[in-house]
Amino acid sequence: MDFTSVNQLNQKYQKHDSTNFVYGTAGFRTLASTLCPVLFRLGMLANLRSRKLNSKIIGGMITASHNPFPDNGIKLVEPLGEMLTFSWEEYATKMANAMTAEKLISVIKEIVTLENIDVNCTANVVVARDTRPSGLKLAEAFIEGVKVLHGNVKDYGVLTTPQLHYLVRCLNTSDSASFYGSPTEDGYYQKLSDAFKTIVDGQKKISPLYVDAANGVGAKALSSLSKVIGSQHFDCYIANAEISKPEKLNFQCGADYVKLEQTGPFGLEIKPNMRCCSLDGDADRIVYFYVNNDNVFKLLDGDKIATLSAWFLIDLIKKSGVKINGRELKIGLVQTAYANGSATQYATKSLKVPVVFTETGVKHLHHEALKYDIGIYFEANGHGTVLFSESAIKAFRDEKGEYHFSSIKSKNESQIKALRILVSFSQLINQAVGDALSDMLLVEAILTLTQTTLESWDSAYKNLPNLQVKVKVTDKNIFKAIKADTELAEPAEVQKFINNQVKNYSRARCFVRPSGTEDVVRIYSEALTQPENEKLSKAVCEYIRLQFGNIESESFEKSDGAVSITRNVSNVQHRGLKIKYNGKLLNSCNQIGVWVQINNRSTGTKTKSIINGETEIFSPSDDPLDEYLVGKDKNEKWDVQLAFVDINGNWDSKLGQNYHFSF
């Protein structure tokens, strides 16, 4: 293998800083401006992975999903549309962090040796990207990485993440008995359309669906898909479809926003009886929602989609009478710790479906779902799908692809219809990966066949009140989650604090885990009542923020010419400072916090601290600071600058502004 070109191109894609990239649950994901060297290296890794698999086609998807538009990322796709195999994630991390050409070449040689790769084998790679402006430049870096090791690469341009997974699976099965579909974007639309129309043909069409497309690539894809299906079978209205304005991507809209904020997206006015759903930025997540007649917002998340799917498929399998070697089909539901406790209880006790928990991340759920004849997996955030095993598919059809009735006791019309619908569902649902558009049609098909409203669907069980909060910390890597993310092994004191808090509330649970995609920890809580849940969430959130917090300040308008402070990474209280807010000492762990930078003008020394908030929120119109005492030596000259922060560690200009004092 000739590495001359690697030396040359590495100068163009030199890694200039010591940032440690880790290939996580969603591949690499961070600020796009830092990623060109990473994309170049991942192009080379995709080349090696293809050679390892005897020239199978490997995919590269450039996206940051639900993240804001300045971010981007890359994840590699296996031949059948799966996530990159676990054992190669370490290689991805090593290559991404190779600082020099020599180190990079050394890692490549190590992979070739350890994996026994035939370097004479041809490498075949495909790549696509979402609508982020940074995607084009990153795609160029990835393509150069594939080509520098003499691989073949095809750029499919702008696609949803599930479309790229679909294409990879189609390309790798085109000449096999497990042919998945036409390996084109149009082929994707046609496959979903044909299956959906077969299922709903002759049924009464339900009311229109209002879709929040997160101002992302899903808007483009859904527009094309709905035209192929036709309005006689499916009506939808697309909101938040401004893909030409990248700054609007996922901004106050999209599945992640709706799920976390428990409210409708901006850009879509929701009225009672409207059926609504939200996609995320790359269209691999979906959640449904509506407002009831009392104008109360109601969310139907991934848990609701999973249990709806299980409820319907159990009944459909029973009606079809299909069996595998004389036995009933095994259906299972895979969840994560984020699944609402009521959803799990409904699945196990009412539906009698076995439920298995895995670590967070669809790659874990997908792997577990493969163990069933029909494996249903959804994260609460709306990312998931339904997998049909090869044995199940064979039970539906014979070797010629015709309907297979050998396992059906009597060939009555209702059984034949049920089997035909079951076959169509296996074609409608994306078998490669969670797909918002495919999942949307899954839900629409079930609701059409059963003539079920969103309110009726929602009434199957009542979610326990729950909250998800993100807290910035100085080092998320010190948080070690165990038992499918439900507990922390480290720091032990955090888990002890959580356990003591949970004891105080009914049907309560809470867990903390480091994010795989952001520099934060995620805190999930649920309890029997909303007030109890809010108290639990607040207590754990404040504890972590105060013990491990990393608060970054924002610029504020200042009337006194104070210099903008851009960053604070310490939460060690400055012992020589006392500040009163409306005459009360800021010393408790409630409501607001004050960020303080103190500058000793005599020595030039600066110290930074956080002082905990007062028990009440005071209006900025009140006297903001009427008592202060700075420093142990009253004769020294000091400057003090303050800014206000809310309970979650976010700067809030409504609570105050920066003040600058000299002493």
CB distance 658 to 642 below 8 Å: yes
pLDDT at 655 over 50: no
Instruction: Tell me whether strands 209-212 and 236-239 are parallel, antiparallel or unpaired.
Output: parallel
Angstrom distances, CA of residue 401 to CA of 173, 179, 397, 423, 503: 16, 11, 5, 11, 57
Show the DSSP H helices in 116-270 as ranges.
Answer: 135-148, 161-173, 185-200, 217-229, 255-261
pLDDT digits (tens, 9 = 90+) for 458-506: 999 999 998 888 888 888 989 999 999 999 999 999 999 999 999 999 9
Q: 545: annotated binding-site residue?
A: no
132-133-139 Cα angle (round to 5): 85
pLDDT at 404: 58
Q: 379: annotated binding-site residue?
A: yes
pLDDT at 629: 33
Single-letter amino acid, residue 456: S
pLDDT at 593: 46
pLDDT at 654 over 90: no
pLDDT at 410: 55
pLDDT digits (tens, 9 = 90+) for 205-223: 999 999 999 999 999 999 9
Tell me what the mean pLDDT of segment 107-120 comes to. 96
Kindly report the average pLDDT of the chain as a whole number.
84
243 CB-side CA count, 13 A:
22
Residue 515 neighbours by CB under 8 Å, 6+ apart: 470, 476, 521, 522
Q: Which is nearest to 131 in space by CA: 220, 41, 36, 31?
A: 220
Compute the distance between CA of residue 172 and CA of residue 553 in angstroms, rounded to an integer: 49
Chain centre to alpha carbon of residue 221 = 19
Partners of 468 in the β-ladder? 524
Task: Band the pLDDT of 361: cuts 50, 70, 90.
Answer: confident
Q: 559: annotated binding-site residue?
A: no
pLDDT at 577 over 50: no
Instruction: Quote the crossing angle between the two packed helices 36-52 and 135-148, to the nearest 10°.
Output: 40
Tokens representing 147?
């080509």
Q: 522: annotated binding-site residue?
A: yes
pLDDT at 608 over 70: no
Compute the distance between CA of residue 446 and CA of residue 440 in angstroms, rounded to an integer: 10
Tell me what the mean pLDDT of segment 303-320 comes to. 96
pLDDT at 282 over 50: yes
DSSP for 29-60, please give it: EEEGGG-HHHHHHHHHHHHHHHHHTTT-EEEE
If one compares 283 and 519, the residue with the highest pLDDT of the two is 283
Compute the distance between CA of residue 547 and CA of residue 193 in angstroms, rounded to an integer: 53
Show the DSSP H helices in 331-453 as ranges.
Answer: 341-345, 362-369, 390-396, 413-428, 436-450
pLDDT at 19: 84
pLDDT at 517: 67
Q: 633: annotated binding-site residue?
A: no
Compute the distance between CA of residue 230 and CA of residue 209 in angstroms, rounded to an integer: 14
pLDDT at 25: 82
Compute the distance between CA of residue 143 and CA of residue 127 in angstroms, rounded to an integer: 8
Backbone torsion region of residue 449, taken as left when φ is above 0, otherwise alpha when ψ lies between -120 and 50, otherwise beta:
alpha
**Rounded (10°) CA dihedral 207, 208, 214, 220:** 140
Q: 65: annotated binding-site residue?
A: yes
Tell me what the mean pLDDT of segment 262-291 comes to. 96
pLDDT at 635 over 60: no
pLDDT at 403: 61
Q: 194: annotated binding-site residue?
A: no
Compute the distance between CA of residue 39 and CA of residue 89 in angstroms, rounded to an integer: 14
Compute the distance between CA of residue 403 and CA of residue 398 in angstroms, rounded to an integer: 6
Kind and range of the H or E element at 610?
strand 606-611
If one compares 519 and 398, the residue with the highest pLDDT of the two is 519
Compute the distance between CA of residue 331 and CA of residue 314 in angstroms, rounded to an integer: 8
Single-letter amino acid, residue 531: P
pLDDT digits (tens, 9 = 90+) for 387-425: 999 999 888 865 555 665 544 555 678 888 899 999 999
DSSP 32: G
pLDDT at 229: 98
DSSP 237: E
Q: Which residues are catalytic?
A: 65
pLDDT at 570 over 50: no
Q: 514: annotated binding-site residue?
A: yes
pLDDT digits (tens, 9 = 90+) for 40-93: 999 999 999 999 999 999 999 999 999 998 999 999 999 999 999 999 999 999
pLDDT at 647: 43
If one compares 224 and 654, the residue with the highest pLDDT of the two is 224
User: Is residue 20 helix, strand or coil?
Assistant: coil
Q: Which is nearest to 21 in space by CA: 117, 87, 91, 69?
A: 91
Compute the distance between CA of residue 474 and CA of residue 6 in angstroms, rounded to an integer: 36
